[in-house]
Amino acid sequence: MRESMFFELRLRRFGVWQVAVWLVAAAAIAAMAAWGVALWASQPESERALVPLVAGGLSLATLGLALSLTRIDGGVLDCVEGRWAFVSDAGVRRTGTLEVAMDLGAFLLLRLVQQGRTSAWLPVQRRGNEGQWHGLRCAVYSPPLAAEAPRPLPAVPAE
């Protein structure tokens, strides 16, 4: 496979990611509700007041997390000579190496890593990017640019 020299993709559609996050959040809230109902029935009356408070608090935390995960800034993801960068529409630039966290064929969850820490999570879907999807997958999975081989030192003539 050839080494990637340049690739650019405008990220602006995140519908698949948002639907998946809300489905997981709904399943978590349903599980908490079922847990609350089961626990309510097994607790003595004096301890029942705590059950809806805990279930409600966990449900609110789940909603807050889902809301934060679905708010994604669009931007431009590019790779120039093996260096990845994401510039959000707000103008924030993040650079680093790109790792594939999840590959579902028509959906990629990418992680931009800078100095060992995640600087950005990028959910990328095929829908809306059909013309560049193959190029993105090639760029993401291409090997990093090889370091230039050291040149041999010139021979010193004998005196």
**Among 21, 7, 12, 8, which Cα is nearest to 88's?**
12
One domain for residues 65 and 121: no
Is 80 exceeded by the pLDDT of residue 109?
Answer: yes
**Among 109, 122, 79, 75, which Cα is nearest to 97's?**
79
Query: What pTM does this model have?
Result: 0.70
One domain for residues 66 and 98: no
Helix, strand, coil: what percent of the chain each, to 5? 40, 30, 30
One domain for residues 113 and 126: yes
One domain for residues 79 and 137: yes
Evaluate whether residue 28 is within a structural domain.
yes
Neighbouring C-beta atoms of residue 123, cutoff 10 Å = 22
Structural domain of 82: 6-13+74-141
* Mean pLDDT computed over 124-135: 88
Is 50 exceeded by the pLDDT of residue 110?
Answer: yes
Evaluate whether residue 154 is within a structural domain.
no
Query: Quick one: angle between helices 50-70 and 15-42, nearest 10?
Result: 170
One domain for residues 88 and 132: yes
**Among 152, 85, 71, 153, which Cα is nearest to 114's?**
85
Evaluate whether residue 155 is within a structural domain.
no
Is 50 exceeded by the pLDDT of residue 4?
Answer: no
Residue 131's pLDDT is what? Answer: 87
Evaluate whether residue 159 is within a structural domain.
no
Tell me the average pLDDT of the chain: 84
One domain for residues 24 and 78: no
**Number of structural domains the chain divides into:** 2
User: How long a stretch of residues is the chain?
Assistant: 159
One domain for residues 22 and 78: no
Q: Using CA atoms, how far apart are residues 107 and 73, in angstroms rounded to an integer? A: 17
Name 139's Cβ contacts closer than 8 Å, sequence gap at least 6: 4, 7, 79
Last-in-domain residue among 44, 70, 96:
70
Residue 64's pLDDT is what? Answer: 94
One domain for residues 108 and 56: no
**25, 66 contact by CB (below 8 A):** yes
